[in-house]
Amino acid sequence: MDSQWRPFDTYHSPFDPCPPKPKSYIVPPNQFIVFQAKGMKQFAPQEALKRGTLWPDLYSPYEAMPQGGARS
């Protein structure tokens, strides 16, 4: 599993006959970088335009969730 994805444990009642579906959520990298230090690595200009950010440390790719909303 990618380091940006975190598993989420849903509540499962002892009386519920169905097992819980595994769920996960993403934590964007900007939640952990308090400020942009001097000398951070940078993408080349064309690559930065493709990825939507100049700094690889702030890059978080978007992946569509599969049908059903759970990422395994």
Give pLDDT tens digits for 16-50: 898 888 888 888 887 887 787 888 899 999 999 99
Residue 10, classed as helix, strand or coil, is coil
Enclosing domain of residue 47 = 33-61
In a domain, 16, yes or no: no
**CB of 51 within 8 A of CB of 43?**
yes
In a domain, 48, yes or no: yes
Q: What percent of the chain has pLDDT over 70?
A: 83
Q: Higher model confidence: residue 38 or residue 71?
A: 38
Number of folded domains in the chain? 1
Of 56, 66, 65, 71, give the one whose Cα is nearest residue 1: 71
Residue 35, classed as helix, strand or coil, is coil
- Alpha-carbon distance of 31 to 59, in angstroms, equals 12
In a domain, 19, yes or no: no
